[in-house]
Structure 1
Amino acid sequence: MSTRRVLTTLACALTAVLATAGPALPVPRTARPAAPAVGTTVRTHDGPVRGVAHDGYRTFDGIPYAAPPVGPLRWTPPRPAKPWTETRDATRPASACPQPAGEVPGGSTDEDCLYLNVTTPATDPRHPRPVIVWLHGGGFTTGAGSSYDAHRMATRGDAVVVTVNYRLGALGFLAHAGLPGSGTFGLADQQAALRWVRAGIGAFGGDPHNVTLAGESAGGYSVCAQLASPAAAGLFDRAIIQSGPCPGRPDRPFAPSATSLSTARETGARFAAEAGCSAARDVLACLRGTKVSRLLAVQDTDQQPAYDTPLLPLDPGAALAAGRFRHIPVLIGGNHDEGNGWAAGIIQAGNPVTPETWPDVVAAFFPDPAHTRAIVHAYPVTSSNGGPVFGAVIGDANFACPTLRTGDLLTGQVPLWRYEFADEHAPPLTPGTPPFPLGAPHAAELPYLFDLGGRPRTMTEAQHRLADTMIDYWTGFARTGDPNRISGISGTGGVSGTGAPRWPRRTVQSLAPDRIGPTRTAAARHHCGFWNTLP
């Protein structure tokens, strides 16, 4: 099994997981009224918008936060949106940013995509509400803000939630000599959205001085990057990082949160050649004239922002280690079985994991023979279904241990809260029967916080209680920097006001139905001593 084949299969498996977020194009949250209800028109700093009133909350979708990055603005830093005077229809999401088919049915080729969506409680707040700005995952190649229906978080947590589109793939992260903003256009979009929130969220009842930046997977990596970006200083006040650890290593396929500018330029040169522009007199003019569908066809399956750049001077992990990042409260964690979804997808694609094939499978990810031997010894496969072992290697190497390492780097520098989502019977994210039980794989926590694609997952009563507790924790943290200080629609307020188990500092809080509490064995369970010493 070649490394390239494995990585391509791994990327396809990731897309399959994220595809269950549902259409990023208009998704009815509830039946839309025949005419806009009273209180659904809001005047923003750019112009008035008309949203939709639901039972207990309002939504305002497809609000532009930057000018369309089309034509000569392709591969330029985001420009301000053009103001408007007539009331703008904000009753349905705008297009997702260009991406291959997957989470977005049929994909997207529409570059006019720099929009955000606001979900806010229907009642006038007694005080401005905390704001959560959500950055979607998808490997920096897929995803859309509109896939995340945030009404439960908004109503239960009494918060304003903003979900954001940002440029993806080569359109978001191309690096080329002489191109200002190389490798960081998608990150610059996120900062433009944060500037819009600072300027305009007050019109929706949000507190522009209490903004939490949150994200999962590539969204979590993005939060790491924004913590380390000098250009993001003053744009947000707290950070939530889900399954997107900051320290990365280039020898672990999905661990790097960023890549060096020199490496990104090498990738950009190959991309230009594949697009048929490397011999052009003006390579960038050729690329700007190339159809989006062609660009999507030749871009790499994995993308990362570039450091050694003005927006991101240091790799985020190095920035944390050096203390050169924004010192604000952080909530960080991951899932107990992060790698199982990928392992299952690769096995189902025709790559069995058995005692005989296991060394070759490991070698595809870790070509150094010494690494291969060490991993096979530390993670032996003894049956014909080695999927759980394969999943553990992917999850431990790329997520669990880097996440714990990120927490260790942050400890003592900022107020820190750490978790591990551990519902071993989490609702499945993909249809069909996997080749082995997936437990709590990558993205499994998302349905506890959002209705993905506007569709709630089927849960037991205990899982519903866990979802409520997680929303209480997340919004309590957004409100005060302490997940124990919960005050939402219950009106109880105070420490653990809704009866949620107390979340101690300096430990990892395990989140499972009716089993919420600190765990002190995460590092040992995920073989972090092994991974941290592997050369």
Structure 2
Amino acid sequence: MRFTSRRLVPFVLAAGLAGATCLGSSAVAAAPPGPPERPVVATDAGSVRGVDHGDYRTFAGVPYAAPPVGPLRWRSPAPVRPWSGVRDADRLGSACPQTPNGEVRGGSTNEDCLYLNVTVPRTDRHRPLPVVVWLHGGGFLTGTGSSYDAHRMAVRGQVVVVTVNYRLGIFGNFGYPGLPGSGDFGLADQQAALRWVQRNAGSFGGDRHNVTLAGESAGGMSTCTQLTSPSAAGLFAKAIVQSGACAVDFGKNAVYPGVDHFSPWISSADLQSAGRQDAAKLGCAQPARALSCLRGKPAAALLSANTDFQQVSYGTPLVPQRPVTALRQGRFHKVPVLQGHTRDEMRAFVATLQHQQPITADSYRALLRDTFGDRARQWATVYSPATYGTPALAWAALNTDRVFACPTLATDRLLARQTPTYAYEFADRQAPNVGYPESPQLPLGAAHATELPYLFDLGGRHARFTAAQDALAGQMVDYWTAFAHTGAPNARDLPRWPRMSTGDTAPYVQQFNTGPGGIHRADFLTDHHCRLWSQG
């Protein structure tokens, strides 16, 4: 059971969020019957007219940078051209170029995509509200900010929420020798959006001095990376990292059997080498003319090489060091951080494999031998199918611990040395399926991205929750927005969430589940065998 094509990597990496948002376009695009007068807000580029939904207002498809088309392809985001009059902000901007997927059904070839969406609660408060800037996931290949209907977070938490599109794949992460900004165009877009927030938050009732940068999966990895970017200094005051810690690393066979080690981060030198190779494949081999040749290609042609550019680059002016190295050296923005993951992250990834070619007892043993060599028997004992129920569940548990849980805990501890850090684990194993294949041998549990419906109405639809899950969703929104307000995720009527202490032998991780006592302290080191993984 070996699959060696690297083309399988992005599908699995993007599957969590692509499936999670397969419910259609966000409800903020539609203007329901209501008051005839629509809200108008003045931005630094011109006025925008939004939609009044009663207890909240939305402003969709607001440009934060010039369209990165023609000569602006693979350049740092340029300023928006100001407009006169009032621009309608009741329609979503295009998703950035991507191949068809569960979230953007038909894909996109439209590079005019640098738009954001603002959700503002109706409030009697006279003080500016905290601002949450949300970065979507999708393996740096798929997704769009408009999939996240943020009205529950905005209204219940009394925060302004901004969801952002940023360049993806070959458009956001391409590198080539001599190309300024190589590999970091998507990250530069995110910073441009944050600068837009700094200039315009006050017009929407937000506090530019109290901005929380947040994201999940690739959005979480982006957020953690921005923590280490010198040019992001002062652009946000807090950070929320969901399933995207800087130490996340996909070891051999973790993404898919036959796929070697894979990191979401790539050195600038390696990326530029890959860019040179792909330029030749795309018919632009001459170095002196390669970039002009590539800029002349239609977006659809470039998408054929999209999967080779699903990593963000370091060793650049924007990201000088590999982010986890920067954390180890204390070179990051010392802002409060809320960080965590789901209890069964890798069941989402294994579900795809299980759907295509189920993991049997024999193939599980083969995977262990190929992955760990002489130590295979040790890991077979720790992650026994008899303990976990099936070989597929054992393999998923092993990789959840190896890829997400223990690296996230390690990142928590690095952060906690120098800044307030709050660690969590989402553990509702009855969470609604967000679009993954299902198998009797592999219950999805609290898989990758399953916490998202508790915070957002994905695609504009509230998830089919039980009463207990609805209550948990409210509590999670309360924690997240309390953190946005104060830098500590604690408020009245919520179980207390202590910050992580570097001196703890069993560090405090807040676990989220339903029912009485569902929010409690998790025995994280035992549950995820992190002491063993720390020994290599």
Aligned AA (1:244): G
- 3-state SS in 2 of match to 1:356: helix
Q: Deviations over 1:123-148 (max 9, x none)?
A: 35321000000000011001100000
| Cα contact 2:421–2:499 (8 A) shared by 1 | yes
Is residue 415 of structure 1 aligned with residue 420 of structure 2?
A: yes
Q: State how far apart, in whole Å, the 2-side matches of 1:391 and 1:29 are.
A: 36
1:369: Cα distance to partner? 2.8
Q: Distance in 2 between matches of 1:35 and 1:155?
A: 18
Does structure 2 retain, via aligned residues, the 8 Å contact 1:21–1:453? no
Partners of 1:428 and 1:444 within 8 A in 2? yes
The structure-2 alpha-carbon separation of the partners of 1:53 and 1:72, relative to structure 1 and needing over 3 Å to count, comes to same
The verdict on how the C-alpha distance between 1:91 and 1:362 changes in structure 2, with shifts beyond 3 A counting, is farther
Counterpart amino acid of 1:443? A
Identity %: 49
- Partner amino acid for 1:313? P
* Residue in 2 that maps onto 1:508: 509
Structure-to-structure mapping, 1:159-308, within 5 angstroms? 159-249=159-249, 251=251, 256-279=263-286, 281-300=288-307, 303-308=310-315
Amino acid paired to 2:342:
N
Residues 315 and 24 (structure 1), Cα distance of their counterparts in 2 relative to 1, 3 Å cut: farther
| Higher mean displacement: 239-248 or 36-45 | 36-45
Per-residue deviation, 1:353: 1.1
- For 1:116 and 1:395, the matched residues in 2 are separated by 32
Q: Please, which runs of 5 or more residues in structure 1 have no aligned partner? A: 485-495
Matched residue, 1:321: 328
Superposed CA deviations along residues 161-188 of structure 1, whole A, max 9, x for unmatched, are 0000000001101111100001111000
The structural deviation recorded for 1:414 is 0.3
Letter of the aligned partner of 2:410 in structure 1?
R
Moved more, 196-205 or 266-275: 266-275
| Code of the aligned partner of 1:501 | P
Deviations 1:326-357 (A, max 9, x none): 001000001000000111111101x2211211
- Residue 428 of structure 1 pairs with residue 433 of structure 2: yes
Q: 306-315 vs 271-280, which deviates more?
A: 271-280
Deviates more, 1:193-202 or 1:510-519: 510-519
Task: Return the offset for 1:2.
Answer: 3.2
> How far 1:281 moved relative to its partner?
4.5
Tell me, in whole angstroms, the C-alpha distance in 1 between the residues paired with 2:93 and 2:183.
25
Tell me how far 1:271 sits from its aligned partner: 2.0
From 379, 383, 386, the equivalent of 2:383 is: 379
Partner of 1:525: 527
Deviation track 1:284-342 (CA, whole Å, cap 9, x = no partner) reads: 11111112112111232661111110000011101111000000100000100000011
**Residues 355 and 384 of structure 1 are in contact (CA less than 8 Å); yes or no, is this contact kept in structure 2?**
no
Distance in 1 (alpha carbons) for counterparts of 2:233 and 2:389: 52
TM-score (norm 1): 0.92
Q: 1:379 to 1:24 in 2, by over 3 A?
A: closer
Q: Is residue 143 from structure 1 mapped to residue 107 from structure 2 by the alignment? A: no
CA distance in structure 2 between the partners assigned to 1:2 and 1:267 by the alignment: 24
427-436 or 417-426: bigger deviation: 427-436
State the TM-score, normalizing by the size of structure 2: 0.92
- Displacement of 1:155 in angstroms is 0.2
Match of 2:459 in 1: 453
TM-aligned CA deviation for residue 505 of structure 1? 2.2
How much does 1:86 deviate? 1.7
- Could you tell me how far apart the structure 1 residues matched to 2:513 and 2:421 are? 20
Match of 1:404 among 402, 409, 426: 409
Q: C-alpha distance in 2, partners of 1:431/1:249?
A: 22
User: What is the root-mean-square deviation of aligned Cα atoms in Å?
Assistant: 2.2
| 1:77-117 residue CA offsets vs partner (Å, 9 max, x unmatched) | 11111111121111021000001111101101100000000
Distance apart, 1:213 and its partner CA: 0.2
Give, as a single letter, the amino acid of the residue that structure 1 aligns with 2:382: A
In 1, distance between residues paired with 2:375 and 2:61? 48
Matched to 1:527, the amino acid is H
SS in 1 for 2:99: coil
Q: Matches of 1:372 and 1:259 in 2, distance apart? A: 29
Contact preservation (8 Å) 1:352, 1:385: no
C-alpha spacing 1:18/1:248, structure 2 compared with 1 (3 Å): closer
Distance (Å, rounded) in 1 between the aligned partners of 2:34 and 2:428 = 42
The residue aligned with 1:58 is: 57
- Structure 1 window deviating more from structure 2 (34-43 vs 175-184): it is 34-43
Distance in 2, matches of 1:371 and 1:76, equals 47
Q: Give the Cα–Cα distance (whole angstroms) in 2 for the partners of residues 30 and 284 of structure 1.
A: 36
Q: 3-state DSSP class of the match of 1:4?
A: coil
| Residue of structure 1 equivalent to 2:504 | none
In the TM superposition, residue 393 of structure 1 has moved relative to its aligned partner by: 2.2
Q: What is the distance in 2 between the residues matched to 1:240 and 1:128?
A: 21
| Secondary structure of 1:447's aligned partner | helix
Q: Aligned to 1:58, what secondary structure does the other structure show? A: strand
Distance change (3 Å), C-alpha of 1:159 and 1:117: same
Alpha-carbon distance between aligned partners in 2 of 1:246 and 1:411, rounded to the nearest angstrom: 14
Judge conservation of contact 1:418–1:508 (CA < 8 Å) in 2.
yes
Name the CA distance, whole Å, in 2 between partners of 1:287 and 1:121: 44
> Is 2:81 the partner of 1:82?
yes
**2-structure distance, mates of 1:39, 1:127:** 23
Answer whether contact 2:432 2:464 (CA < 8 A) is retained.
Answer: yes
Query: How many residue pairs align between the two structures?
Result: 518
- State which drifts further: 237-246 or 501-510: 501-510
The worse-fitting range, judged by mean Cα deviation, of 382-391 and 88-97 is 382-391
Q: Contact conserved, 1:248 with 1:258, CA < 8 A, in 2?
A: no
CA distance in 1, matches of 2:72, 2:358: 46
Deviates further, 246-255 or 383-392: 246-255
Distance (Å, rounded) in 1 between the aligned partners of 2:399 and 2:434: 18
Rounded to whole Å, the distance in 2 between the matches of 1:460 and 1:236 is 35
Determine if contact 1:65/1:81 at 8 Å carries over to the other structure: yes
1:467 is matched with 473
| Alpha-carbon shift at residue 20 of structure 1 (Å) | 3.6
